[in-house]
Structure 1
Amino acid sequence: MTRTSTDRFTLSRRAVLASTAALALTSGVASASSAASPNSGFVTRDGMGLKLDGKPYRFVGANAWYLAWLGADADYGDQRRLTRELDALAADGVTNLRVGASAELSPLNNSVRPAFRDQTATYNETLLVGLDRTLVEMGRRDMKAVLYLTNFWEWSGGMMTYLSWVNGGRYINMNDPAHPWPDFADFNADFYRSEKAVGLYHDYVRAVVGRTNTISGVAYAEDPTIMGWQLANEPRAGGGEQVALNNLPAFYAWINGTARLIKSLAPKQLVSTGGEGLKGSSERAEVVMESCRSPDIDYLTAHIWPGNWGWLDRKDMAGTDARARAMAIDYVNQHVGFARQLDKPLVIEEFGYPRDGDLYDPSVPTTLRDGFYQDVHAAVLADAEAGGPLAGSNFWAWNGEGRTRNPDFRFHDGDSAWMGDPPHEPQGWYGVFDTDLSTRALVRRHAAALTEVTSR
């Protein structure tokens, strides 16, 4: 999820050097579909469609980045809640979850703790076992996971944290008044040019993608529960247009080299960038296209944030709702066009809208949000009926039973009431609670309709 409201652990030195070398590679082997066999239980790509066991795969999904934390055998975990949340999502027809598989222990404000790793090569096994457990429980419910491996934004540490580990401890906090937008994003984009930072990141990629589940005994790369891997949450080449354009060669090299690395480790699973689409590409179609052109990138992603991008005036939601929703559907249609040009699938993997009045309490209605969800669902359904590339959508995000204990609706260090609203944002801003019955009913109806269309 985009942070701004204006645009808003053991591997050897040889592994680090290999990581750096991989960065320079670009993909040269065409792969019209993934390497899994048609009836293996893996989601595969066939042109601009996804398939599961030889049949079209279209899905209703959600974001639930925090599930590994729930699954951990620790004071911050809650394994019973993990199973209840997955049961609730499954009952609503959700079959695909986007889950965090990374977090870097960070000096940045509002970054989540505990983390999967620090700057050493000793990773947090407790949290990794929480991820193991999450995958086992998802597999029992025939759900598919998309796992992202770092973050452009600060709330899980991310690229800025990697940079701080290799540049003598320098970093910029997001929304620091001394460093207004786009200073954070421009500084952060140095990550792509840092061989040391990317080397540390690639070490972690190798460790997680190459992991064997300690509960099931199944190698991650052989687990069909994992639909795919994402390079990062919302990677951008920069914030300001000129900085972003200057960074494009390094950005593309990072995408292509990392995608190729993941494919070498897990050829049966899909890879995507995790990007926002146009909004994360300096509003340039050619950047969206080039970011996803590699044959090792299996599908396009798009994120939709009307309230963060200025389409929706959060102080006048009723008066600007129609405009915001029209702009959102136009955004979807543009990305369907990009997917058709590249002959690849598309997933609307984040879409979010505030509760009425831009308030956070679960008792506040979700009238306008429900209308926005209906629009996104209708676009997915219409594209399915047309045999198009739009394979599914993941709403942001599932809060489920999570409730803040803080009257200011902010995340405080030590909180373990995990919610889909990340630590840098008001708790309850975009997340769907288990008591949001009208929204959940919309999701169930959409799941039923999409299943009917897909099965024809």
Structure 2
Amino acid sequence: MRRMSLWVIFLLVLFLKKECINVEGRGGFIRTNGCHFNVNGNPFLANGFNAYWLMYLGSDPSQRGKVSDAFSQASSHGLTVCRTWAFNDGGSSPLQSSPGFYNEQMFKGLDFVVSEAGRYKIRLILSLVNNYEDFGGKKQYVEWARSQGQIIGSEDDFFTNRVVKGYYKNHVKAVLTRLNTVTGVAYKDDPTIFAWELINEPRSPSDLSGKSIQSWITEMASHVKSIDSNHLLEAGLEGFYGPSSSQMNQLNPGFQVGTDFISNNQIPEIDFATLHSYPDQWLSNTSDQQQLVFLNTWLDTHVEDSRNILKKPLYLSEFGKSWKDPGYNSSQRDAMFNTVYNKIYVSARTGGATAGGLFWQLLTPGMDSFRDGYEIVLDENSSISRVITVQSRKLHSLGKFHARMKKVKGE
């Protein structure tokens, strides 16, 4: 019996050691140092993509291959960061069917996504709720509260109603403390996850003073950090300027939404700023050349403000150009991507705040029902695939160069 016990202990030690290697092998947690990202003390620069659909297909064993294919194809093109949804509130195939009640099969789909991302050495940015009614979002949360007798004026009460905020906080806790059924590692302890995103594109047009969203981000950022101090956190902003920099409002694409790029990102618990860019949507009645002029100014201004005012890293977490645009041709999309990628690279090369970008959106063959005009299937279009791959290689080489320079300087 004693010999058997020692053998069991030996096997257990091996198992635990293997688990530690699996977690450590994914790399350390991403950190910030001023306006730069680093991992294990080395600069972190990364090209990436959006794929909001991963959990949904990951929850269906017959469709899981598309998740693996997406990560495999992305990895082969040097893409190492993916942004995706960690929410689906109410409706059909929900993650959260009602406040605090979860669909285990859907959660297992997200478990699979996190596991596969780790296998392909891809970091994840996980968004926790939607501003829009797609996949539930603000609208579903306030409807849940209204059904419990809360007086709800509009969807924007999502940011101020005590009951609604409680629902959201509980969801945050459920996701962050989730024990992955594939890896056995809690999400809050898994370095595969790059960062949490509070909400996808927050907007509160009923309060253009910005006070509602500023207060909400402050409260929820503190809540996230009280549960998980390992991971970085970002707000999910599109980048619109607000009251704290009213002189910059002229740079917005013609509208206000109650957010403030400067003050929202100055909240201490927000680790880095985000920026979205859709000139073809925001300036739909202008020429392609005018949209590129706007894009250049939009990027330059936010890169400069992130470095000089926020002193935090900046990630361009959504951008794209739709083939549904009037007069579209692939060279226009290539030019748009090259403009974005060049701004990112130049900023990173010269010590600026920008560390990468995530195009919207990556699909794999056979996903026609998910096409929205912005989709990129890497095996379909050699032109845009080359643009993406070249940027991945440039950022990878630049990261290695910066790492060598740090060693030479003894940093």
Q: Give the letter aligned to residue 93 of structure 1.
A: G
Match of 2:79 in 1: 94
SS in 2 for 1:224: coil
Q: Matched residues in 1 for 2:117 and 2:48: separation?
A: 13
Match of 2:123 in 1: 144
Match of 1:134 in 2: 113
Indicate how the Cα distance of structure 1 residues 347 and 140 shifts in structure 2: closer, same or farther if over 3 A, else same.
Answer: same
Structure 1 runs not aligned, ≥5 long: 1-36, 107-112, 171-185, 405-416, 420-426
Judging by fraction of residues, say which structure has more helix.
2
**CA displacement at 1:161 relative to structure 2:** 1.0
Q: Give the letter aligned to residue 116 of structure 1.
A: L
Q: Note if 1:197 corresponds to 2:155.
A: no
Q: Note if 1:61 corresponds to 2:44.
A: no
Q: Note if 1:379 corresponds to 2:347.
A: no
Cα contact 1:384–1:390 (8 A) shared by 2: yes
Cα contact 1:356–1:365 (8 A) shared by 2: no
Q: Note if 1:218 corresponds to 2:196.
A: no
- Written as runs of structure 1 = structure 2, the 5 A alignment for 1:335-414 is 335-340=302-307, 341-355=309-323, 357-358=325-326, 366-404=330-368
The CA RMSD measured in Å over matched residues stands at 2.4
Indicate how the Cα distance of structure 1 residues 282 and 290 shifts in structure 2: closer, same or farther if over 3 A, else same.
Answer: closer
Q: Give the letter aligned to residue 90 of structure 1.
A: S
Q: Matched residues in 2 for 1:78 and 1:231: separation?
A: 28
Indicate how the Cα distance of structure 1 residues 334 and 136 shifts in structure 2: closer, same or farther if over 3 A, else same.
Answer: same
Match of 1:441 in 2: 386
SS in 1 for 2:397: helix
Match of 1:30 in 2: none
User: CA deviation digits over 1:355-392, x for unaligned, max 9?
Assistant: 16549xxxx85221111001000000110111100011
Q: Give the letter aligned to residue 271 of structure 1.
A: L
Q: Give the letter aligned to residue 297 of structure 1.
A: I
Match of 1:252 in 2: 214
Structure 2 runs not aligned, ≥5 long: 1-23, 250-259, 402-411
Match of 2:30 in 1: 43
- Written as runs of structure 1 = structure 2, the 5 A alignment for 1:71-110 is 71-73=58-60, 78-106=63-91
SS in 1 for 2:299: helix
Q: Give the letter aligned to residue 61 of structure 1.
A: G
Match of 2:231 in 1: 269
SS in 1 for 2:202: coil
**Rg comparison, structure with higher value:** 2
- Written as runs of structure 1 = structure 2, the 5 A alignment for 1:145-160 is 145-160=124-139
**CA displacement at 1:436 relative to structure 2:** 2.1
Match 1:304 to one of 238, 254, 277: 277
Q: Matched residues in 2 for 1:402 and 1:368: separation?
A: 25
Match 1:454 to one of 373, 392, 399: 399
Cα contact 1:61–1:395 (8 A) shared by 2: yes
Match of 1:123 in 2: 102
Structure 1 residue ranges, 4+ long, deviating more than 3 angstroms after superposition: 279-286, 356-359
Cα contact 1:354–1:429 (8 A) shared by 2: yes
Match 1:230 to one of 192, 197, 201: 197
User: CA deviation digits over 1:88-135, x for unaligned, max 9?
Assistant: 0111111000010001114xxxxxx31211224220111111111111
Provide TM-score, normalisation by structure 1: 0.75
Cα contact 2:47–2:78 (8 A) shared by 1: yes
SS in 1 for 2:355: strand
SS in 1 for 2:356: strand
User: What percentage of aligned pairs have identical amino acids?
Assistant: 28
Indicate how the Cα distance of structure 1 residues 132 and 382 shifts in structure 2: closer, same or farther if over 3 A, else same.
Answer: same
Whose RCO is larger (CA < 8 A, sep 6+)? 1
Cα contact 1:356–1:367 (8 A) shared by 2: no
Cα contact 1:50–1:345 (8 A) shared by 2: yes
Indicate how the Cα distance of structure 1 residues 308 and 402 shifts in structure 2: closer, same or farther if over 3 A, else same.
Answer: farther
Q: Tell me how many residue pairs correspond in the alignment.
A: 361
**CA displacement at 1:244 relative to structure 2:** 2.5
Q: Matched residues in 1 for 2:352 and 2:291: separation?
A: 24
Cα contact 2:273–2:312 (8 A) shared by 1: yes
Provide TM-score, normalisation by structure 2: 0.83
**CA displacement at 1:321 relative to structure 2:** 1.1
